[in-house]
Structure 1
Amino acid sequence: MRAWLERGAAVPGGRRGKWLVLAIWLIAVMALGALAGKLGEVQDTSANAFLPRGAESARVNTELEKFRTDELMPAVVVYSGQDALGEDARAKVEADRTAFAKLAAKGEQVSPAIASKDHKALMVVVPLLGEEQADVADTIDRMRDVADAHAPPGLDTQVGGPAASIADAFTVFGSLDGTLMMATGLIVVILLLLTYRSPVLWLFPTLAVAFASVLTQAGTYLFAKYAGLPVDPQSSGVLMVLVFGVGTDYALLLIARYREELHRHEDRHEAMQAALRRSGPAILASAGTVAVGLACLGFATINSSRSMGLVGVIGVICGLLAMITILPALLVIAGRWVFWPLVPRHGAAVRTSRPFWERVGKSVAARPRRSWIASLAVTGALALCSLGLDMGLSQTDWFQTKPESVVAQEKLSAHFPSGAADPATIIVKTSDADEATRAAKATKGVVEVKTVGRTPNGELTQLSAVLEGTPDSEAAKNTVEALREKTDGLVGGTAAQALDKETATARDLKVVVPLVLLVVLLVLVWLLRSLVAPLVLLATVVVSYFAALGTSNLIFENVMDYPGVDWSIPLLGFVFLVALGIDYNIFLMHRVKEEAAVHGHDKGVLTGLVSTGGVITSAGLVLAATFAVFAGLPLVAMAQMGFVVCIGVLIDTFLVRTVMVPALALDLGPRFWAPGALSKVGASGPAPEPSGAVKERELENV
């Protein structure tokens, strides 16, 4: 590894290598720029992209393709008032039906107006073509214009149903990538300006992230196009935030070490090569841990979770490549002046005094056992708040601000059977259709069953079952289970999809979480050459995760007034926080290990804490701020994920990494490194004769 780093560091930090690296990146960006813009073309926006692999509801969606050459999707227009609707309202509905007939799918009929039992609402179903989401969204907009126009006083009109839900989601996701990129970029630039206090230096990590973004988007497009990589709008949006976050983290660590080396080396090329050699192992280990942790999501059954993990791996790798190649090359090409006005001078003393972190270190060292017990008590108290999590969001709770499709669903549920606008779908063999219809009608919770159509070859029949409960309610999910038991066919629809997601999430938690813990543990054992230290570090990150989940739950219930937590949050939050949270422990312990080999365990812990405190805190703030951007998005699930990751990173940065980990290391003493060689080094005495990198470092310090 050391020989590989020596050769690798000589290229971007070399006199000729820097120009070679710059040329390669410029050629790559120009060649791949067009592909980066095509990422949206390979995004899977179908319902199956967010369902478990092989789930019965997903199989129904696949079977439905056999029933028609055109994919139909119903839009439901609901007209309602406080009192029974009169002739004016009925005349308005009939006029609208005539207009809707021009927008319906060719050859399909608009349904007659269906009156509610209380006579306060009318419902019209309009079949639309659902092949292109942009076309569906445009048609829904035109339908809403028709429904709103010339409505008599007291008549409320909303367009809902599956087609309107798709259109509203398309509107949200259509601007998602651009909004995230702008907001994340602005926050990162502001934090870099505050961190470096330089009007110039912030440009270099930002430019390197831009290079990484192009490579990431192009690479994701190629893997999706030719290797079957699943990509959906949600994972595509998270991808750019992840590249900004981890890329900036690695840039902060490298630049901090480069600044130190500029004091020791007159030649900036030598300084950069030394910085790459010394910070390289920590950056590589960090990126490897995050990538491997995210890759574990590939074993999840829910397609959107798999997409999030596998796409994230590409983002982390591309961010790493940019930060250890083009960023060093740009910094060396520019010279020392990029640090203006705080330009590091050769021969000037390296600033070793960091009063705040020295006070923190002394406080922890004075009473290490009390320190880690107190920090554990705080995180434990916050973790207890996660016990009251209400899992699951109904369809009406998906958006922070209710779109018209959600309002329409609420109106329908108030006046019609809750599942009238979105019935369950049953696919059976035509020979079993009559028996399946009788069994479905006899099932508790089913209001109505009718035959919708047959495949061209007549082998399969599609039944539609209107349920009493709203499509994603517990009552509807119980009815779906009963239908699957009583009918010899496949049961799909919104209620079935909600049931399948819930079942798959429970399975994924049991499989993916232990796998992530095992993989991260093995990486830490390899990096630290210890068994005790990796177990301690992994335990602290898990505690941090539950504390973040508990704190987020308090905010969701008392501040944001969310009715529940999306099923995807526990799994995705765990993977992101364990993978990203272990980052800062790696940055810290890599420096502690280096210092302990020279100065002994106790001094090594304190020196590592003081020397990395500022840069790790800055990195944590940048990463937390980038994920905080999600809190302002209209999708509740993405906002909740942003909250959990942001809070978890802050807890890990300011409490776990600052107090708990150093205190545990000091309390355990050299045993912290057992059974590695450092466990035999005294707590305060000199280490055995150093060799290799340590000798070189001592000579340079002299």
Structure 2
Amino acid sequence: MRSSSRWVRWLVPAVLVVAWLAIGGTLGPYAGKLGEVATNDQAAFLPRSAESTRVLEERRAFEQSESVPAIIVWQTPDSGSVTDAQQQDATRAVASLAGEPGVAGQPSPALRSRDGQALQAVVPLAPDLGDELPAALDEVRAAADSVPGLSARIAGPAATQADLADAFSGIDGLLLGVALGAVLLILLLVYRSLLLPLVIIMSSVFALGLACAVVYVLADRGIVRVDGQVQGILSILVIGAATDYALLLAARFREELAARGDRAAAALAAVRRSAGAITASAATVALGLLALLASDLTNNRALGPVGAIGIVCSVLATLTFLPAVLALLGRAAFWPATPQPGDAAAEGHKVWHRIAAVIDRTPRRVWASTTLLLLVLAAFSPSLSSGGVPLDEIFVKDAPSVSAQKALGRHFPGGSGQPAVIIADASRAADVQAAVRTTEGVASAVPRTASGRPGDGEPLAVDGRIRIDATLEAAADSDDAKRTIADLRTRLHAVPEADAIVGGYTAQRYDTEQTAARDRSVIVPVVLGIILLILVLLLRSFLAPVLLVATVALNFLATLGVSALVFEHLLGFSGTDASVPLYGFVFLVALGVDYNIFLMSRVREESLVHGVRQGVLRGLTATGGVITSAGVVLAATFAALMVIPLAFLVQIAFIVAFGVLLDTLVVRSLLVPALVIDIGPRSWWPGNLARASRTTPAGIRQPGGKPHQ
């Protein structure tokens, strides 16, 4: 029997390790294949119920073929005037592109700017070129460069799509390499062990491979949507979360190994004692992400299930593969810093003993000063603009499409190439056109005609509807342009029986901004409610969970305040993407509660034996090192998003990385322990711990009374 039991103790870990090696070998390549089912077509991620989305659907009836415009802008090198001969040469050059591969229709003739110093022409490209888009743009560029005496650039949606594809190129290898390299370096420095960091990295990579395979299958069947941003966040989220959970389990295994000496028993005890905290932490993140399904923005909805899948895979790898490897390796996993029976290191680093002593002496001063600091930082949060990132700030580095758009804006109305699109009832065409042309901020308005080009012939009516393209005076991504869209809608909605709707690039940005504000008002309370419920169930109290949720919410506001200052004064951003505050909230609040769960679940465990005050001090010293390490690792992994030169991901990276560090080093290390010590057993109200005195451990029988539980 004893021999049989011994075989089972080693057979189960061995089978788990072999199973995960098979999963890693089979599914690992999917981390690099996810881009095959990803789309970076931003039109696919518009608000589902917005007016601009309705326009996008109706406008297709007025197009002879679907296309993505590439806008050529020619300039004279010495600010001189464009000659008639140069205009004719430009028109012939773009006309020669008709029928070329990738060109979907007849290019427009070259039009001269009001100042006479530039020309522009529109070349319609097929919308489904994919990897062939750069080659098609090269053909357009070659034709544009053939005009003597003029310099040519390419702007418009087609050029922007190409620059986005270039920004996301190599995302699989580059982002993963930077994130894993940062994690490995931190783990080597913190744990001074050669094997344990590699085991933890392997666990994270296996979790990522499994998550990417599941997402790939779902995306390939159209069940979930993936774009470059979601793809990058998934990689970072899985690596960061899996590493965090692994660090918590490995730290508990080290404690149990020092206390028990038997590696199989230590691994089993580590799983048993850390599984509750890990699964509760994962549930807060996964359910917080799934709350994004309440969003009306499709890219937000896409991140919800994809991120939740990643978290589930992270927990699965942590609770199966990692303990199996640790059970087989034992103390060798920590070599050369091998723990021995009774090792004092398992009881907490002396730095954390000193921090705990300071909190114990003056808890009220500690929580009051840290709260004041967070409130001061949070005071700057209203200055963070979430009205969208201007076109010239979308890319962190200067992109060809951005410089071309700037050149276009210097010579033509700001909205050139990105008109507002109005669809209305044909019977009210005259009234609708009059309302559009008299709206302040509209430079010109022409109906789409049978020729397929605005203003060339009689207006085209399709199913009783007409289309009008209105060029705005202001730049298409400016606040003035958004105000013009709002005014247009007000005036057109007042035209009787016109059923007029306004869309186009500026309207899409406006609708996205309005929808994002609505999403925040709906999703933020949902996420807070989910987290509060999980904490109440885990800690079996109400007051402590409320305090924890309040502290992470304050940490989020403080992070937004710092971000507002950094983005404007250091990084030069005039605003953030409309979804950035919501993403930042979901990640920071859910991940911030993670560390509080790790701390408070251990505090509760210790308080049941040693009393609330000693429970807090023991819990802090026992978890301080591992939670701080986990916070630094998670911050480093999210910071890796900065290698992708897009403002959205750089902003998300900073908010999460800084917020996690602030939460780890200030909120969890100082504010929460000081609050619980100062409030005392009442912080665990209405649980049994609330009835324990400051000096009497729970579970010890009082004279003449029942034992506390």
User: Would you call these one fold, judging by a TM-score over 0.5?
Assistant: yes
CA change 1:389–1:39 in 2 (3 A) is same
Corresponding residue of 1:588: 599
In the alignment, is the contact (CA less than 8 A) between 2:193 and 2:335 conserved in 1? yes
**Structure 2 residue 208 is the aligned partner of structure 1 residue 208:** no
- 1:426, distance to aligned residue in structure 2 (A): 2.0
**Structure 2 residue 564 is the aligned partner of structure 1 residue 553:** yes
- 1:348, distance to aligned residue in structure 2 (A): 5.0
What secondary structure, in the 3-state scheme, does the structure 2 residue paired with 1:643 have?
helix
Corresponding residue of 1:578: 589
- 1:28, distance to aligned residue in structure 2 (A): 3.6
- 1:45, distance to aligned residue in structure 2 (A): 2.8
Q: Give the % identical residues.
A: 42
Counterpart CA distance in 2 for 1:465 and 1:13 is 75
User: In the alignment, which of 462, 468, 479 is matched to residue 463 of structure 1?
Assistant: 468
Correspondence list, 1:193-592, <5 A: 193-226=188-221, 228-346=223-341, 348=343, 351-352=346-347, 354-392=349-387, 393-453=389-449, 458-487=463-492, 488-592=499-603
CA change 1:107–1:344 in 2 (3 A) is closer
Segments of 5+ residues of structure 1 without an aligned counterpart are 1-9, 691-702
Counterpart CA distance in 1 for 2:362 and 2:265 is 41
Counterpart CA distance in 1 for 2:39 and 2:428 is 34
- 1:641, distance to aligned residue in structure 2 (A): 0.9
Q: Deviations over 1:31-59 (max 9, x none)?
A: 54565554223324333333212211122
Structure 1 letter corresponding to 2:202? L
In the alignment, is the contact (CA less than 8 A) between 2:187 and 2:197 conserved in 1? yes
Corresponding residue of 1:660: 671
Counterpart CA distance in 2 for 1:335 and 1:607 is 25
Corresponding residue of 1:7: none
**Structure 2 residue 154 is the aligned partner of structure 1 residue 159:** yes
User: In the alignment, which of 80, 83, 90 is matched to residue 79 of structure 2?
Assistant: 83
CA change 1:388–1:452 in 2 (3 A) is same
Counterpart CA distance in 2 for 1:663 and 1:562 is 37
User: In the alignment, which of 633, 636, 654 is matched to residue 622 of structure 1?
Assistant: 633
Between 1:204-213 and 1:261-270, the stretch displaced more is: 261-270
Structure 1 letter corresponding to 2:193? S
Counterpart CA distance in 2 for 1:348 and 1:386 is 46
Q: Deviations over 1:587-630 (max 9, x none)?
A: 00011101111111111100111111100000000001111122
- 1:263, distance to aligned residue in structure 2 (A): 1.5
Counterpart CA distance in 2 for 1:34 and 1:552 is 36
CA RMSD of aligned residues (A): 2.4
Corresponding residue of 1:124: 121
User: In the alignment, which of 39, 52, 55 is matched to residue 47 of structure 2?
Assistant: 52
In the alignment, is the contact (CA less than 8 A) between 2:385 and 2:575 conserved in 1? yes
CA change 1:194–1:11 in 2 (3 A) is farther
User: In the alignment, which of 115, 134, 137 is matched to residue 137 of structure 1?
Assistant: 134
Structure 2 letter corresponding to 1:300? S
In the alignment, is the contact (CA less than 8 A) between 1:11 and 1:18 conserved in 2? no
Counterpart CA distance in 2 for 1:348 and 1:397 is 54
CA change 1:453–1:260 in 2 (3 A) is farther
Counterpart CA distance in 2 for 1:59 and 1:104 is 30
CA change 1:129–1:536 in 2 (3 A) is same
CA change 1:539–1:13 in 2 (3 A) is farther
Counterpart CA distance in 1 for 2:623 and 2:615 is 12
What secondary structure, in the 3-state scheme, does the structure 2 residue paired with 1:75 have?
strand
- 1:74, distance to aligned residue in structure 2 (A): 1.2
Between 1:665-674 and 1:448-457, the stretch displaced more is: 448-457
- 1:330, distance to aligned residue in structure 2 (A): 2.0
CA change 1:70–1:456 in 2 (3 A) is farther
In the alignment, is the contact (CA less than 8 A) between 2:444 and 2:472 conserved in 1? yes
User: In the alignment, which of 24, 28, 35 is matched to residue 40 of structure 1?
Assistant: 35
In the alignment, is the contact (CA less than 8 A) between 1:49 and 1:232 conserved in 2? no
What secondary structure, in the 3-state scheme, does the structure 1 residue paired with 2:248 have?
helix
Counterpart CA distance in 2 for 1:202 and 1:660 is 30
Between 1:240-249 and 1:77-86, the stretch displaced more is: 77-86
Q: Deviations over 1:204-225 (max 9, x none)?
A: 0111111111110111122333
Structure 1 letter corresponding to 2:373? V
Segments of 5+ residues of structure 2 without an aligned counterpart are 451-459, 493-498, 702-709
Structure 1 letter corresponding to 2:108? S
Q: Deviations over 1:349-398 (max 9, x none)?
A: 55435221111111111111111000011111111121222332222221
In the alignment, is the contact (CA less than 8 A) between 1:429 and 1:459 conserved in 2? yes
In the alignment, is the contact (CA less than 8 A) between 2:442 and 2:473 conserved in 1? yes
CA change 1:588–1:95 in 2 (3 A) is same
Corresponding residue of 2:90: 93
Counterpart CA distance in 2 for 1:662 and 1:13 is 42
Counterpart CA distance in 2 for 1:572 and 1:413 is 32
CA change 1:225–1:433 in 2 (3 A) is farther
Correspondence list, 1:599-610, <5 A: 599-610=610-621
Q: Deviations over 1:492-516 (max 9, x none)?
A: 1111001101110110111011111
Between 1:282-291 and 1:565-574, the stretch displaced more is: 565-574
- 1:408, distance to aligned residue in structure 2 (A): 1.5
- 1:650, distance to aligned residue in structure 2 (A): 0.6
Counterpart CA distance in 2 for 1:460 and 1:14 is 74
Q: Report the TM-score when normalising by structure 2.
A: 0.91
Counterpart CA distance in 1 for 2:95 and 2:126 is 18
In the alignment, is the contact (CA less than 8 A) between 1:427 and 1:462 conserved in 2? yes
Counterpart CA distance in 2 for 1:422 and 1:13 is 68
Counterpart CA distance in 2 for 1:423 and 1:600 is 68
CA change 1:353–1:401 in 2 (3 A) is closer
Counterpart CA distance in 1 for 2:383 and 2:667 is 24
Structure 1 letter corresponding to 2:629? S
- 1:92, distance to aligned residue in structure 2 (A): 5.9
CA change 1:683–1:373 in 2 (3 A) is same
Structure 1 letter corresponding to 2:480? A
Between 1:94-103 and 1:213-222, the stretch displaced more is: 94-103
Structure 1 letter corresponding to 2:134? A
Q: How many residues align?
A: 679
Q: Report the TM-score when normalising by structure 1.
A: 0.92
In the alignment, is the contact (CA less than 8 A) between 2:603 and 2:618 conserved in 1? yes
Structure 2 letter corresponding to 1:477? K
What secondary structure, in the 3-state scheme, does the structure 2 residue paired with 1:217 have?
helix
